[in-house]
């Protein structure tokens, strides 16, 4: 599954908003943000991301 997101930093944390889906999540680092995006997408689409899968 590919979920395209727009990412921005508000000076305190990183936020990602999905394009074409109702997903928004924030985290203190980019690495943590990617984990949050994967988790939000898995919950939204009911399609758990497998450990070790490559995200784009």
Specify the pLDDT at position 27. 98
The beta-carbon contacts of 42-47 under 8 Å, at least 24 apart in sequence, are: 45/1, 47/1
Specify the pLDDT at position 23. 92
Cβ contacts of 55 within 8 Å, gap of 6 or more: 34, 37, 38, 49
The b/e string for 17-54 (b: 16+ C-beta within 10 A; e otherwise) is: ebeeeebebbbeeeeebbebbbebbeeeeeeeeeeeee
**Domains of the chain, residue spans:** 5-45
Give pLDDT tens digits for 14-54: 999 999 989 999 999 999 999 999 999 888 887 555 555 65
pTM, two decimal places = 0.73
């Amino acid at each position: 599954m590919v979920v395209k997101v727009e990412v921005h930093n508000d000076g305190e944390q990183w936020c990602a908003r999905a394009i074409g889906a109702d997903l928004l999540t924030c985290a203190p680092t980019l690495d943590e943000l990617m984990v949050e995006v994967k988790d939000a997408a898995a919950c939204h689409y009911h399609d758990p991301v497998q450990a070790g899968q490559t995200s784009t």
